[in-house]
Amino acid sequence: MVSHKFCEKLTAKINNFKLIVFGEEPIRAYDRVHLTDYFGNKTLDDLFLSKNEWYDENNIDLHLHDTILQVNTIEKYAISKSGIRQNYDYLVFATGSAAFVPPIPGVDKEGVFLYRTIEDLDQIKAYASTANKGTVIGGGLLGLEAAKALVDLGIQESAVVEFAPRLMPRQIDDMASNILQNKLQALGLTCFLQKSTTQILGKNKITGLAFADGSQLDSDILIISAGIKPRDELAKAAGLAIGPRGGIVVDENMRTSDPHTFAIGECALYNEMIYGLVAPGYEMAEVAATTISGEQKLFAGFDMSTKLKLMGVDVASFGDPFITEPHARTILLEDKNKGIYKRLNISPDGKRLLGGILVGEAASYNMLLQTVNNNMPLPEHPETLLLGEQSETKPAGAGLEALPDTALICSCEGITKAQICNAVTQQGCEHADDIKKCTKAGSGCGGCVPMVKDLVAYTMKKQGKYIRNTICEHFNFSRQELFDLIKIHDLRTYDSVLDSLGTGHGCEVCKPLVSSLLASLWNEMILGKGNDVAQDSNDRFLANIQRGGTYSVVPRVPGGEIQPEKLIVIGEVAKKYGLYTKITGGQRIDMFGAHLNDLPLIWEELIAAGFESGHAYGKALRTVKSCVGSTWCRFGLHDSVSFAVQIEERYRGIRSPHKLKSAVSGCIRECAEAQSKDFGIIATEKGWNLYVCGNGGSKPQHAHLLVSDIDSETCIRYLDRFLMFYIHTADPLTRTATWLNKMEGGVDYLRNVVVEDSLGMAETWEKEMQALVEAYQCEWKVAVNDPDIRKRFVHFVNAPSEKDETVKFEEMRGQKKAADWNAPITY
């Protein structure tokens, strides 16, 4: 990486040099910082630092898989493994470092790996499939990354063994380590501290580790990550000065003891220190390139602040994390409940920040780091800095204003605040990705990306530019803009919208979005007018696609109330078509495993029995759940079932930015869980309380009380307004909770709009909603009676009566289930 950076810097400065690169690995330079991503979703192609042609285009000779074996600094030539004798004017060592392997008996056993190169990772990947218990020696930064890799690879029991009394001993203190350990334990990673490994157990293969205290740990895979040692053998053999514990000695120009030889990155020893991070390595590359091109730039040591995410846990350390009295005063926050630890070291006069540690929550890292690096004054009560980001109430960028132009934002690439702001104002960058292309900020470790995003938003806002959330390459509009344009132009089909307002031929992002807008606006049958091919998977066939390619069927059961005759019909239909039945979370019955061909037949029978579509497949109202209410319950205040049925029948089928769920409870005991719904209603002595914008799902959120003690009619009027406001303005696929979270002014603003009619839209919205309600028709009724739509419900268009024979079921508890996903094909 550092060598690549050097090539980049030197070719950018001057072009009268011929650059020749020799590399040990068989592939060109790649991003080692994100090596762990190789276990996740990244491929090698994502990790390469440049395109294949880059070296050619810059006239650089690249010799891969060809190590330099010998250097003669007097006659200035080097000899490679393949026998190339290369003369040079300047020689740069960017040989990096190797993993330090402690001399433990048994480290050569099968199943013991290092964590350094792509090859190491490939070997680990291959071996891990046979392992159940994994261990990492080394609780430092890289060791914990390696442990994460073990967990990602599906190793059931993973452990980290550290010699020191705490994790990440160079970055965090004991209390921070405790918090981190607890968090990692919860994620399936056990940490053993103060353990000195004395032996690797096992015959040929590793079976465990033995420690100096007599204890043992079973393990069938081991990764050693016990630190690094600079690759200085070649330099040493060439007679260059080497530090007592390794490392090629360099001065502030990165020059070694030979004036024509330089060393950069993890092989270089500056001021008795090896810099094992990418940012200082890049800085060294810049210094060496500058010196060689005849200019002057000095290396002045480097800030070793870091922020990383370990298995979802933020850990950051900045400035001087360990400084104590009398040189500093410490402010601590330890929250064992949430697993948060924060430490700020401030100057004895309380005016400057010197450093600190953050575990569990590190959103303020960039701002704190800038405060240290720019020697910015602290607020009167510096302890407020510990209380986390309150970005939801504070306008973004409050702290950005105070940041000097020279503040270094991306330390990997050395990009300042002014450079980023200029990229926005002068080069038209509008996203962090544009900034990355323009300035390279954020392309190294990526830690500064959140701050870059904030800076872009801040600069654009300052320019009065509106930040637009456009849909995709085919529509340069936000959802809201497109909604209004479709309405103004009275467009009724996806193709006409694309022809009038878009470019290209559409995609899987804009098609369902536009289809949803058309449905929200006109409420016409979604499969008509050629719009069927623009519907998302489930809407296209009015059912929910499930594993294997069959569908599930959910008839509407308003309020969860159902007559015995209808229950019998559902049972009979399920038996006849061989369907698996399950009660849903929304008080309905779901029937799974229906072949595409059978869907119209199933629905014909359901419709004949009085059922209608439940829209379980649509971004629309799902269900209005209810408790039994005052008709039976001894506590019930009002008839919650009747009100739930009324509301469900009013809003059924209306398409919205995302699915909508609702509930009505007959008293404050809240058995219908109305406060977890997009809109929920709870009976009071005097009427109903209306709650909005709650949801369950991955990020549960309680609904907010919008208004109290209203009658049924008022409640429905407010709901009309609320829903139309949401349908008009929410971003695509945004639930009401997220929509409210992004709304400036929050629930107070929403209340003003809905209840006080501050926008003067109430009447319009109520009319629009009434039009949608009146346009409702059961989609399935239309579908089974329209031969053109109905003929699409076949698997083979050239053999309409045949079903897909690849669909497989298995038996479970007396019903069927879909067969597991077929094994992926390996290429």
Binding site for other proteins (CB under 8 A): 43, 46, 473-474, 495, 504-508, 510-512, 530, 532-534, 536-537, 540-541, 545, 547-549, 792, 795-799, 802, 804, 806-807, 821-825, 827
CB of 542 to other proteins, least distance (A): 13
Classified as helix, coil or strand, 440 is coil
- 3-class secondary-structure state, position 150: helix
Least separation in angstroms between CB 819 and other proteins: 11
CB of 527 to other proteins, least distance (A): 11
From the list 456, 411, 452, the residue with the least C-alpha distance to 429 is 456
Beta strand pairing call for 133-137 and 157-161? parallel
CB-nearer residue toward other proteins: 502 or 586? 502
Question: Within the chain, what is the greatest distance between any pair of CA atoms?
Answer: 101
Residues 510, 514: Cα–Cα separation, whole Å: 6
Q: Which CB sits closer to other proteins, 713 or 810?
A: 810
Residue 364 phi, psi (nearest 5): -90, 5
CB of 566: closest distance to other proteins in angstroms?
A: 30
C-beta of 319 vs 506, nearer to other proteins: 506
Closer CB to other proteins, residue 43 or residue 337?
Answer: 43
Residue 403 token pair: 């940041």
Q: CB-wise, 224 or 534, nearer to other proteins?
A: 534
Whole-number minimum distance, CB 56 to other proteins, in Å? Answer: 25
Give the DSSP letter of residue 194: S
Burial of 83 (0-12, 13-18, 19+ CB in 10 A): exposed
Please state, in angstroms and rounded to a whole number, the distance separating the CA atoms of residues 409 and 405. 10
Cβ 587 vs Cβ 560: under 8 Å: yes
Cβ at position 485, least distance to other proteins in Å: 20
Helix 762-774 vs helix 712-729: angle between axes, to the nearest 10 degrees?
Answer: 90
Q: Alpha helix locations (H) across 380-431?
A: 417-425
How far is the C-alpha of 517 from the C-alpha of 513, rounded, in Å?
A: 6
Residue number with CB closer to other proteins (608 or 797): 797
Under 8 Å between Cβ of 338 and 370: no
The residue among 229 and 547 lying less far from other proteins, judged by its C-beta, is: 547
Give least dist CB 549 to other proteins, A. 5
What is the rounded distance in angstroms from the CA atom of residue 201 to the CA atom of residue 219? Answer: 9
Q: Give whichever of 540 and 717 is closer to other proteins, judged by the CB atom.
A: 540
Q: Is-contact 429 403, C-beta < 8 A?
A: no
Question: Please, what's the b/e burial string for 322-358 (b: 16 or more CB within 10 A of its CB; e: otherwise)?
Answer: ebeeeebbebebbeeeebbbbbbbbeeeeebbbbbbb
Q: Please count the other Cβ atoms lying within 10 Å of the Cβ belonging to residue 215.
A: 10
The sign of the dihedral angle between the CA atoms of 292, 297, 300, 303 is: negative
Cβ closest to other proteins, residue 43 vs residue 204: 43
Query: Of 466 and 827, which has the nearer Cβ to other proteins?
Result: 827
| Beta carbon nearer to other proteins, 397 or 528 | 528
> For residues 150 and 596, which CB has a smaller minimum distance to other proteins in the complex?
596
CA angle 299, 305, 310 (to 5 degrees): 140
Q: Report d(CA 535, CA 198) in Å as an integer.
A: 63
Shortest Å, Cβ 503 to other proteins: 9
Q: How far is the CB of 436 from other proteins (least distance, A)?
A: 18
For residue 441, the minimal CB distance to other proteins (Å) is 24
Q: Which of 726, 715, 713 is nearest to 765 (CA)?
A: 726
Distance, in Å, from the CA atom of 625 to the CA atom of 182, rounded to the nearest integer, reads 40
Of 632 and 796, nearer to other proteins (C-beta) is 796
Rank residues 21 and 543 by Cβ distance to other proteins and give the closer one. 543
CB of 545 to other proteins, least distance (A): 6
Q: What one-character-per-residue DSSP string does 748-791 give?
A: HHHHHHHTS-TTS-HHHHHHHHHHHHHT---HHHHHHH-HHHHT
Nearer to other proteins, 185 or 806 (CB): 806
For residue 525 the two structure tokens come to 């049958």
Q: Report which residue type is found at 14.
A: I
CB 546 within 8 A of CB 582: no
Nearer to other proteins, 499 or 572 (CB): 499
The CB-of-541 to other proteins minimum distance in angstroms stands at 7
Lookup: tokens for 385 = 């800095």
**Is the CB of residue 151 less than 8 Å from the CB of residue 132?**
no
Q: How far is the CB of 795 from other proteins (least distance, A)?
A: 6
Cα–Cα nearest to 483, from 727, 719, 723, 655: 727
Q: How far is the CB of 500 from other proteins (least distance, A)?
A: 14
Alpha-carbon torsion (383, 387, 391, 393), positive or negative? negative
Contact call for residues 658 and 735 (beta carbons, < 8 A):
yes
Long-range contacts, 84-90 (Cβ 8 Å, 24+): 86/20, 86/22, 88/20, 88/260, 89/17, 89/260, 90/260, 90/261, 90/262, 90/292
Contact 677, 639 (CB under 8 A): no
Q: How far is the CB of 571 from other proteins (least distance, A)?
A: 29
Give min distance, CB of 95 to other proteins, in A.
Answer: 32
